Amino acid sequence: MSKSHYQGNLFVDPLSSETFVLQREGLDIRYQENWVSAEIADYWFDCLLSEIEWQQDTVTVYGKKHLTPRLSYWMGEHWMSYTYSRNTMQAHPWQDLPLIIKQKIEKATGHQFNSVLINYYRDGQDSNGWHADDEPELGDEPVIASLSLGAVRDFHFRSKRDHSKKHKLCLRNGSLLTMQGATQSQWQHHVPKRASAGSRINLTFRRMVRSS
Ligand SMILES: O=C(O)CCC(=O)C(=O)O
Ligand SMILES: [Mn+2]
């Protein structure tokens, strides 16, 4: 594990130079760099960029509507709806490539998923604010598998109880981050802006246990 992959002061259990697990204070994550080769990651990036009908959602914060600073698209089973920041969204049907990726991730992680939220960060000005994926639709202690394609971006965690407790990863092209246990109930995460970053697509595979 090199310093460039992880900055923080948690105990880290290195599985290999490119894989590590952090399990402490409710944070429970596993990061695998080069989960797919750069060649495959670049190919998937190009396919998704052209095949998905990207949307820019609105969120309501303190009664004011804002456009999210990224584009996104949500796929899942036909019965699914999801409420996020007072917006209820209906899942779009699965497309071939996300379904193939889902199956590959299920095999690698041993966890089953039934939906994916795909985010497209057009450049370093796009971002994802502090939040936790702790909606009731995801059940208790959800497992979320997050595949990164394209530009490297920082990924920060902070404890919900004590915002001064923070940890930071760099999510690289072709990497897979798995978050589980109490990660969503006890921690928040965000992707800050990054000057002059190129474009990036992130897929977070989730298992919805109920509709909203
Ligand atoms: O872009 C990422 O790496 C994370 C995306 C995320 O946290 C989300 O969509 O809930
Ligand atoms: Mn999230």
As a whole number of angstroms, the distance between CA 62 and CA 40 comes to: 42
pTM value is 0.91
Q: Confidence class of residue 199 from pLDDT cuts 50, 70 and 90?
A: very high
Probe target for ligand 1 pocket from 128, 168, 190, 193, with the most ligand atoms within 8 Å of CB: 128
What is the per-residue pLDDT across 136-159, written as a single tens digit (0 to 9) for each? Answer: 999 999 999 999 999 999 999 999
State residue 10's pLDDT score: 44
State residue 20's pLDDT score: 87
Q: Please give the number of the atom of ligand 1 that sits closest to the Cα of 155.
A: 3
Size of the chain in residues = 212
State residue 17's pLDDT score: 53
Tokens encoding 92:
């779009």
Nearby residues for ligand 2 (ion, Cβ within 5 Å): 133
What is the per-residue pLDDT across 152-189, written as a single tens digit (0 to 9) for each? Answer: 999 999 999 999 999 999 999 999 999 999 999 999 99
State residue 61's pLDDT score: 81
For residue 184, how far is its CA from the centre of ligand 2 (angstroms)? 9
Give the ligand with the smallest distance to the CA of 205: 1
Nearest CA to ligand 1 atom 8: 204
Question: Ligand 1 in contact with 117 (CB < 6 A)?
Answer: yes
Of the candidates 70, 195, 202, 201, the residue with the CA atom closest to the CA atom of residue 124: 195
Terminal-residue alpha carbon distance, the chain: 40
Tokens encoding 26:
């409710």
Nearest CA to ligand 1 atom 1: 202
How far are the Cα atoms of 38, 140, 144 from residue 184, in angstroms, in the given order? 29, 9, 9
Query: CA gyration radius for the chain?
Result: 16
Scanning the structure block, which residue is given the tokens 């699914």? 80
Question: Ligand 1 in contact with 133 (CB < 6 A)?
Answer: yes
In the chain the domains, ranked by start, together with CATH numbers, are 6-206 (2.60.120.590)
